[in-house]
Amino acid sequence: MDAIRGLGIELDQDYDRPEGRQVFDVLEEFGVSGDEVVSDLADYFGVTEDYVEDNIDVIAQNRATKEILDKAIEGGIEQVDPGETAADAYTEGEKDAVFGLLQDGTLSIPAAAEYFQLPVEEIQAAYDSMLASREADQTALDAVAAQPAQSATEQLSATLDDFGDADLAAALASGELDESERQRFAEGGRLLFDEMGNPSDSPQFNIMSTTLSNRPTMGPPEKPEETPEKENSFLDTMTSL
């Protein structure tokens, strides 16, 4: 008990968690435990043996929790003592890490509640909310993955519908577009016509190129040609006078 007395803890029966950790560290250092140690500590500090045992158990649990968190999160997460709150808000990364530890059973909800000094019900509610959100996200991903992949023709048809291209959509529906053209479109390749709307050197006549190149060009209307008669009408009038 000399080492315990050497801590200089005031014997006021109002002990805080840091003082409890000092006592716990002495017990760890000397490797002592058991009923006799608990009885001696209770007598010295003027508390019940149950009080001593409960505090030893809680401190041991928090030490184990800290070790788990230190391995899972770089720098760990600060422990909160009774009557205090965390100095900094928990980051999303820290919340995700704790959620993962709770989900795989590495950390228990009561242990997390004690370590962070939060009600068990609050930890449980937060865990349930995150679990439901992740399950919903996974369900949505599974639904997307279960949809059949679109063929090249289906992708081209959907794109033409989006752009409202009735001519090419009709050509596609009638089967006039050859398979190589559809495949090039589906793979993100260049359609078989050049920048001027001229058909490319496709080995066979290409209905897509023809459809586009046959469309009227967009631009300013052409000016009507002026006839020579109109240009010379003033001179003719002057000559006749």
pLDDT tens by residue, 137-193 = 888 888 888 877 766 666 666 665 665 556 666 666 666 655 555 555 555 544 444
Residues 33 and 102 in one domain: yes
Residues 107 and 162 in one domain: no
Residues 197 and 78 in one domain: no
The total of structural domains in the chain comes to 2
Closest residue by Cα to residue 60 from 112, 108, 25:
25
Give a yes or no: residue 241 inside a domain: no
Interval 94-103: pLDDT, tens: 999 999 999 9
How far, in Å, CA of 93 to CA of 101, rounded?
A: 12
Give a yes or no: residue 222 inside a domain: no
Residues 186 and 94 in one domain: no
- Predicted local confidence at residue 147, as pLDDT: 77
DSSP β-bridge partners for residue 78: none
Give a yes or no: residue 168 inside a domain: yes
Give a yes or no: residue 229 inside a domain: no
Residues 160 and 48 in one domain: no
Closest residue by Cα to residue 178 from 148, 209, 212:
209
Containing domain of residue 100, as a range?
2-139
Residues 80 and 159 in one domain: no
pTM for the model stands at 0.60
Residues 26 and 133 in one domain: yes
Interval 11-50: pLDDT, tens: 999 999 999 999 999 999 999 999 999 999 999 999 999 9
Give a yes or no: residue 29 inside a domain: yes
Residues 135 and 105 in one domain: yes
Residues 57 and 89 in one domain: yes
Residues 91 and 197 in one domain: no
Residues 156 and 134 in one domain: no
Give a yes or no: residue 236 inside a domain: no
